[in-house]
Structure 1
Amino acid sequence: MEQEKNKNLIKVDVEGKGIFEYEKGISLEEISKDFGDTYENQIVGAIVDNQLEELGVILSEDCHVRFLEQCSSIGARIYQRSLSFVFIRACMELFSGCQVSVEHSLSKGLYCEIQYKRDLNEEDTKRIEERMREIIAEDVPLIKSRVPVDEAIDIFKEYGQNGKVNLMKYRDKPYINIYQCGWLKNYFYGYMVPSTGYLKKFSLKYYSPGIIIQLPTKEANCQIPEFEEQPRLFKIFRETEKWAKILEIDHVAALNDLIVTKRQGEFIRIAEALHEKKIAQIADTILENIHEKKLILIAGPSSSGKTTFAKRLEIHLKVNGLNPVSISLDDYFVNREDTPLDENGEFDFESLYAIDLDLFNKDLEKILAGEEVEIPTFNFHLGKREYRGHKIKITEDQPLILEGIHCLNDELTKSIPKNNKFRIYISALTQLNLDEHNRIPTTDTRLIRRLVRDSKFRSNDANRTLFLWQSVRRGEERNIFPFQEEADVMFNSALFYELCALKKYAEPLLRQVDTTSPYHAEAKRLLKFLNYFVNLENEEDIPRTSILREFIAGSSFH
């Protein structure tokens, strides 16, 4: 009898808590309730034997479980996705016939727009939030079911979701997972929480012409952070939205249609011409202000295409009769032994204080005053600065270009008055989304760029890139994003067609991340995401000066 009883038990190794016995058929949600009080924040999902799972999953054998809190990187996506579903339902109930589109991240939240017979206002926003809280208080189950694609298409047609209808043409499986929240059925790329009762932390903010869903963040100790205006970033997103209309590309299916029908050539040329036009406009602005703003500072997060952008800007400045000179911040690193340490006791090369700020600012003042200055060269092998006779002197009409992660932080160039600096922020701010409700995060585009570049030029496999990415993201949050609104201009380096071009390079790399890797769940997510794109096999239409060439190779810049 005892033996029979043991057969019905499984051992669950809960990470950081110990090994526990449960009856077969228990759900992750039931187990999570045993440990909820021991976690700082709400549990919203789990990694089971290196596979991402929803809390509704039933366990039938021994396993290792790592629970995910709502403000972890994966947990935040689950929480955001689930809350978006409740937001969409509330909008559809209050404004019959409206179309909700989930656009992009903004001010630590999610910017959405509601197309309705009239413009929505602040009072409408309050009503939506009230209805969302009612749905959350009801603790409505979010039920997942597998349905044939044809049936899903009928559901999307009923709700007028043409982006989803068109995307189904490119689904390679005959079925799809649909979620239901009360009366509403919908498709979301990724997992959900078990029920709406998990979604208590949020706030809505009216942000004309749309609404921002404010979410808890890790940086704010899993609370709603104080709202910070980002007018420049919002403007660049709106500008990109206009570009999408010019190119007649609203969602991924429209892009796939172009490639399948072999009409991508003109589309690529227009997308690249829009980049060229924007860079030319920036160069013209620099020319107009050259006597006042001689120091050009370029900053942006990893894989935003800063190197190619800087090279193309130099060309346009020369077309304008200017002859720019550039210097590298790397040459002003402090000697290795003087490098500050991070929280793990490792050298923090991304710290502002890894740079000899006093020496750099003294040299900068002299250069901008027209004096000849000998610039150091950092010997990375020895970890020391050396002087090798490299001298710089600029004329009155010569701009000085500086590119680096700290360039928008005034502390870097503290000896130079603000009105003598021209600051440029560059990032790949994706506006193209999978469909009405499934956005493409900017960080995913940059990560896929980096995966491809690291493999081609740095001999890094996907595991190495995914490992480094966590540190890169922390550095961006600390050193780049807080200063992005300080820029005089912003440049969006995203190209609408790029994920179709990157797909054939990224997929083989991600498939090499096996089930034993701690990054298996992330690799699997990215593979699923890339599966929605058609491969751009023929690259002959991508110019050698394209920012994309910095990642896929073939650039004319070195």
Structure 2
Amino acid sequence: MSFEIKIKDACTLSSDKTITAREALALSNFPKKEAVVACRVNREQRPLSWELVMDSYIEFITTDSIEGIEVYTRTLAFLLTAAATRVLGVRLHLTQSMLYSYFYESPERELTEEDCAALRAEMRRMVEEDEPIRREVFPIDVARAMMSALGYSDKEELLRYAGTDPVILYRCGGVYDFFGGALADRASLTPTFELHPYRGGLFISGPTLSDPCKTMPFSESPKLFRLIQEHTAWLKNLDVSTCAGIHKIVTDGGSRDLIMLCEALHTKMLSHIAEEIEARPEVRLLCLAGPSSSGKTTSSRRLRVQLLASGIRSRTLELDNYFVDRERTPLDSDGRPDFEALEALDLELVNEQISALLAGEEVDVPKFDFLTGKRTKGRKMRLAPNELLVIEGIHGLNSRLTQSVPADKKYKIFICPLTGTNIDFHNRLGTTDTRLIRRLVRDARTRGHSAEATLKQWPSVVRGSFRHIFPYQDNADAIFNTALAYEIPVLKGYVVPLLKTVPEDSPVYGEAQRLLAMLHFVPVIPSDDVPNLSIIREFIGGSCFE
């Protein structure tokens, strides 16, 4: 019996026998065949080796999309860890990322430049010889035993807690591994990468979104790297580096203790920043910046409390209230409103009011209504003598906002959930996904946005972060990591119902399904014990700062 294969942006094929998505691609007139790394079959993400046996709707995933880059990156991760197993006989753990470069280290020993060269050569060989990457299905007990035999106790425990049966594993050159999403089905599809030896480990960089043939430039940031490594060590000390550790805590009834520990760490970090500011009496302006959904609002208020404990008073000016009316918002390359652009703010008014406040004058601070997209009347504000002014927003570190204030009178803080608990040591729950999950929950609660609307806007938000925010992070006097080991388990209960509202015919349905698949391996922690001063309350509601 014949069946039809409808291909988005291409043709409709007819077949009377089982064929793979790769074969369908070859037979089609799809315009970007060379950029395809995977596909979605009937809205579900699949490798190109997927067999088509019935009427199917195929959307090919290309490297000029965020989803395509994610498939590409996962595939590179497998090639790297498989090469390490075969060539060096060591395991690699993914512990952090910096600007889309991912840092791996081995629990067995430090990696040398020679090791890095050997891994690079093996990965190049795998690409050139076009090694197949096979998707295989195993009963859960067999998959757990395989992961245990490979020394991946984190994966074995994760599979036990998640309880998924059967389990999908990928195989390349005799090495098996577990991943949360589809991989390219052949190594030749991921030729663009570079390895950088760094402090006993290595960074791997994949392709850029704008040009898949160009490797993402590696940018060293010793200050940021040191901070993330310190937090990684803190997570390891508490046995919560991966979701298996969180599962165990939840099972043992220790969720409340974990929440209190994480919040105590935030208090400790903010106290240290407050002490540094206290040591600089000449400072008049605190600039807090970070990408969307970093927790800037709560961070600024908690910092004000810490400063007040030292007798230092402050007032906050929220940059989100200085958006231009929505019809004046600049557009991104896709023709959508670019709320991340600096020009989305009324720069003239921001500079005027900062200068006036520091001069002791009273100003009328506006209030932006996100539901109507209009700026409305807010409140009057004046700084008392010796009172600090705090500004927070995604552009808080951009000198164009504060060009009239001398550098020695400013203290700059970069805020971002930089690293946290991973799914396992090869499947990262990264900074971008953490911020996206936070934003999905907050947008639904405070801005009336559907999950679909937020997901559609997110690529523009990510591009804006790399253009307008991350380039300034190294100029900060301090970095505050707002990640909390327990937050995704708390947010899961809020975001899963939202993601399930995304319709199957939506262009972001695949992204919603990717997040749901990832969240399947995350335990649930009720929000009851989350304190009202927590950064997470900024997103789920109930903050004492609202």
TM-score band w.r.t. shorter chain = over 0.9
Give the 3 Å change call, closer, same or farther, for CA 149–19 of structure 1 in structure 2: closer
Question: Which of the numbers 433, 438, 450 marks the counterpart of 1:461?
Answer: 450
Give the 3 Å change call, closer, same or farther, for CA 445–353 of structure 1 in structure 2: closer
Does residue 38 (structure 1) correspond to residue 31 (structure 2)? The answer is yes
Once the two structures are superposed, the pairs formed by residues 340-355 of structure 1 within 5 Å of their partners are 340-343=330-333, 348-355=338-345
Question: Which of the numbers 109, 129, 137 marks the counterpart of 1:138?
Answer: 129
Q: Is the 8 A contact 2:11 2:29 kept in 1?
A: no
Q: Which amino acid in structure 2 is aligned with residue 316 of structure 1? A: Q
**Aligned residue in 2 for 1:101:** 93
| Cα separation, 2, equivalents of 1:138 and 1:347 | 44
Give the 3 Å change call, closer, same or farther, for CA 158–379 of structure 1 in structure 2: closer
Question: Which of the numbers 189, 203, 212 marks the counterpart of 2:194?
Answer: 203
**Aligned residue in 2 for 1:298:** 288
CA displacement, residues 248-285 of structure 1 (integer Å, 9 cap, x when unaligned): 32211111111111122222211110000001111111
Q: Is the 8 A contact 1:336 1:384 kept in 2?
A: no
Does residue 546 (structure 1) correspond to residue 537 (structure 2)? The answer is no
Q: Which amino acid in structure 2 is aligned with residue 418 of structure 1? A: A
Question: Which of the numbers 215, 218, 230 marks the counterpart of 1:227?
Answer: 218
Q: Which amino acid in structure 1 is aligned with residue 98 of structure 2? A: L
Q: Is the 8 A contact 1:47 1:67 kept in 2?
A: yes
**Aligned residue in 2 for 1:527:** 516
Give the 3 Å change call, closer, same or farther, for CA 520–378 of structure 1 in structure 2: closer
**Aligned residue in 1 for 2:280:** 289
Farther off after superposition, 202-211 or 101-110: 101-110
How many aligned residue pairs are there? Answer: 544
Give the 3 Å change call, closer, same or farther, for CA 71–504 of structure 1 in structure 2: same
Does residue 258 (structure 1) correspond to residue 246 (structure 2)? The answer is no
**Aligned residue in 1 for 2:108:** 116
Normalised to the residue count of structure 1, the TM-score between the two structures is: 0.90
Q: Is the 8 A contact 1:71 1:216 kept in 2?
A: no
Q: Is the 8 A contact 2:10 2:29 kept in 1?
A: no
| Cα separation, 2, equivalents of 1:54 and 1:217 | 21
| Cα separation, 1, equivalents of 2:20 and 2:336 | 41
Does residue 127 (structure 1) correspond to residue 115 (structure 2)? The answer is no
What is the CA distance between 1:55 and its match in structure 2? 0.6
Q: Is the 8 A contact 2:101 2:216 kept in 1?
A: no
Once the two structures are superposed, the pairs formed by residues 40-59 of structure 1 within 5 Å of their partners are 41-59=34-52
What is the CA distance between 1:221 and its match in structure 2? 5.1
Does residue 471 (structure 1) correspond to residue 460 (structure 2)? The answer is yes
Normalised to the residue count of structure 2, the TM-score between the two structures is: 0.92
Give the 3 Å change call, closer, same or farther, for CA 18–440 of structure 1 in structure 2: same
| Cα separation, 2, equivalents of 1:455 and 1:343 | 25
| Cα separation, 1, equivalents of 2:544 and 2:284 | 27
Q: Is the 8 A contact 1:107 1:230 kept in 2?
A: no
Question: Which of the numbers 63, 69, 74 marks the counterpart of 2:62?
Answer: 69
| Cα separation, 1, equivalents of 2:482 and 2:350 | 29
Give the 3 Å change call, closer, same or farther, for CA 40–249 of structure 1 in structure 2: same
The alignment partner of 1:45 has SS state of strand
What is the CA distance between 1:342 and its match in structure 2? 4.4
Farther off after superposition, 485-494 or 243-252: 243-252
Does residue 321 (structure 1) correspond to residue 302 (structure 2)? The answer is no
CA displacement, residues 393-437 of structure 1 (integer Å, 9 cap, x when unaligned): 442x32110011111111222222333321111111233112221
Q: Is the 8 A contact 1:100 1:114 kept in 2?
A: yes
Once the two structures are superposed, the pairs formed by residues 406-425 of structure 1 within 5 Å of their partners are 406-425=395-414
Higher radius of gyration, 1 or 2:
1
Q: Is the 8 A contact 1:203 1:213 kept in 2?
A: yes
Identical-residue share of aligned pairs (%)? 34
Task: Give the superposed CA RMSD.
Answer: 2.5
Consecutive unaligned residues of structure 2, counting only runs of 5 or more, are none
The alignment partner of 2:138 has SS state of strand
Q: Which amino acid in structure 2 is aligned with residue 308 of structure 1? A: T
Once the two structures are superposed, the pairs formed by residues 140-539 of structure 1 within 5 Å of their partners are 140-220=131-211, 222-291=213-282, 293-330=283-320, 332-333=322-323, 340-343=330-333, 348-368=338-358, 370-377=359-366, 383=374, 390-395=380-385, 397-537=386-526, 539=527
| Cα separation, 1, equivalents of 2:533 and 2:376 | 33
The alignment partner of 1:307 has SS state of helix
The alignment partner of 1:75 has SS state of helix
Q: Is the 8 A contact 1:247 1:267 kept in 2?
A: no
The alignment partner of 1:518 has SS state of coil
| Cα separation, 2, equivalents of 1:304 and 1:382 | 22
| Cα separation, 1, equivalents of 2:146 and 2:320 | 56
The alignment partner of 2:399 has SS state of coil
CA displacement, residues 135-178 of structure 1 (integer Å, 9 cap, x when unaligned): 22222211121111111122122211110121122122332111
Q: Is the 8 A contact 2:132 2:172 kept in 1?
A: yes
